Structure 1
Amino acid sequence: MFEKVLIANRGEIALRILRACKELGIATVAVHSTADSNAMHVRLADESVCIGPPAARDSYLNIPSLLAACEITGADAVHPGYGFLSENARFAEILDAHDITFIGPTAQHIRVMGDKIAAKQTVSALGVPVVPGSDGAIESEKQAYACAAEIGYPVLVKAAAGGGGRGMKVALSEDELLNAMQTARAEASAAFGDDSLYMEKYLGKPRHIEVQVFGDGRGNAIHLGERDCSLQRRHQKVWEEAPSPGLNAADRKRIGDTVATAMADLGYRGAGTIEFLYEDGEFYFIEMNTRLQVEHPVTEMITGIDLVHEQLRVAAGASLSVKQEDISFHGHAIECRINAENPRTFAPSPGRINYYHPPGGLGIRVDSGVYQGYSIPPYYDSLIGKLIVHGKNRNECLMRLRRALSEFVIDGIQTTIPLFSELVNNADIVDGRYDIHWLESYLAGTSDD
């Protein structure tokens, strides 16, 4: 096992990793920008290193500063968390060249899965179902029109690099295709420095289903069930739950076994998530995230497996601690992403937390790095915590979630807690009748603006 792990992240995920390291007896190094000097993970780590000014490009994305922090502290491994450099193949290669372990997949797998076209081709060859679309990048308008005619409108034009909904446009008809391509190409170039596009069939009312996978790089891989992430705003997940209320047992087993076999054949190492659109009983691959997900706690709650512990063990060279037949699923879990945002407009709401009271009780988990008196800086993602609730079934889970939300107090800033208090009592949500478009339609219909 590692002697000392440097946590190349901030906020709740940095604290989550720190706690896992402490439980395993591993010394920790927290890195931070000048804006995060009072962060909870910095206070609790064995050592801390300031790596730059507030801007992420000068601190959390500054590879030379992170490498220097490793050398100064003698860290023999780096956990990147999610976001920032977690899916940066070059960072993994640089660490390897300095004999520092990157706690994640190989640089090769990060690079392949980071390219949407290459990822689609790779998983398709491994037997994973994909959305009908172009075989590779769309090189010309003529090719685009031919591809769209073949798969049928509406179509989705997507950036080959990046994510988060940027460089993604829908064309409902042939008349809209050229404008969709031009807009998507411009967004992709500005956001990712790569204007490559590909095309997929646009599904009308799919659910967003993702499967948690884990491999040890030795040909062993398992799945830990699926998560339903269909409640989204602008392609950003808001509410996640496991298992999905929209899947039956046969579909659940079919897709789980398919991706576990594919990851074993790939020789994948570490945690990963394979994301699908699901409609009319069919799964369509959209992307793979080669890292820990924000929503990983719901999987932990229903399986009892600590995914960060497993990441640390596998990165240190151990085989998987469990086999597929060892995995059992218990109850239901829901995660609400608590953001420092206006609950209706989603405008960021940085500032000082005057009062903080998280909920508690059986089946309640709060992953957050904030505390009373903490000032949320304006420079980073607005996620400040995650409320995760578990129950023996979905009804009990929803019951506990209502109670937990009513207890959760964060004063001094605006948060998305009021939105979740509405959603948990909505009939469609209670009955599990929602798709990836539901939340935006709901917000458009109830907005006060």
Structure 2
Amino acid sequence: MDPATGQVLYTHDFIDSATALTAADRAHAAHLAWRDTSFQHRRECLEILGGLLRERKDEYGALMTREMGKPLAQAVAEAEKCALAADYYAENAERFLAPVHANTDASRSYWTYRPLGVVLGIMPWNFPFWQVVRFATPALAAGNAALLKHASSVPGCALALEKLYRDAAFPAGLFQSLFIDTDTTGLLIDHPTVKAVSLTGSVRAGKAVAARAGAALKKCVLELGGSDPSVVLADADLDATVSACVYGRLLNTGQSCIAAKRFVVVKDVLEPFTKKLIIRMAAAPMGDPTHPDTILGPMARPDLRDELHRQVERSVAAGATLALGGVVPDRPGAWYPATVLTDVRPGMPAYEEELFGPVASVIAAKDTADAIRIANDTRFGLGASVYTGDGALGERIASELLEAGNCFVNGIVKSDPRLPFGGIKDSGYGRELSPLGILEFTNVKTVWVK
């Protein structure tokens, strides 16, 4: 469905379970040959992958925009970011996977990293290329195979990704996109040739997949929801801080696990910060996502928009102030305006839940210690930011006091191929990207020689 118009673009059918299990066996056979290929050969495939992503960035960007409404400039940038991940592992995979020697009583002892086999990736719609490339590229570089169960609302992206890896000279069957339902997904997790699962999605989905995989004693990496706080201290540069906060809140129309969602502001600067925030949020009107200058496009689906609106309404009914937006436009599609809630307190959806859309929740804090307490007062732990003029203080808060997997000082939380990415608490476990990401789906094998 085109989220800008509400029109159905195309439909697709799920494959049956027998076909899916056959695909898993095919992936396993491809893995058995691939795992013993040279790193030089894998590097060549990864280099082709990066080149194709840059060559096709406009095509892929238009596809993302059409299927899930991402503003075109952001969609093209997503394809370019995928190319950076391919470059990173092309350059570094061999070094990351090199044996590590240890001095023991043996003549030779070391540990090595061997691929697990077929990894099932269950991926969402909001970054339909990046989240797949983030999981699949290091997995393939390590010698694994990958099966993709993509969100059903982005079938064109799923097919384009399968063709991308095939065109990059990865062996037939090594990366496959499967149109499967929840029941068949469970059967794949149980299937003997599937050795591990990577999921990016909701907490509910993560718990269900972790339980199914755990019952089969299979490795999981889970990147789940987030309600990232942006802590604003009294000495912060307010203009720069507000600029970063608005960008972080509206990127991808607010539909990001690591989007800035809760703005925890000390009372000394609460009023000027809030005024500036409202002005900047109001300056981001909804627009045609295919236009290169659009910042705020439609949300991905009407049901997602409706759920966000209910959270806003429930927060207002509980005492929050609707300072901007909060009205569903009378037009086709999944549109929702930039919205600001103030006077947000515990017990409200805007405080307790993840608001997956362009809604900023402003929460007052008495002082720095109280702001840190509020920032950590959440079941999520994916990302957090702190804004301050004291760099040393900001670094201490980020490194020691904020309870999240990704903590940034004077900037929005973002993923980077060179840095580990993942969360704690209800935001999941395991890490993607960096050297740690490529090691997640390997057998760390100790070798001892007398």
TM-score (norm 1): 0.31
Q: What TM-score, normalized to structure 2?
A: 0.31
- In terms of Rg, which structure is larger? 2
Larger relative contact order, structure 1 or 2 (CA cutoff 8 Å, min sep 6): 2
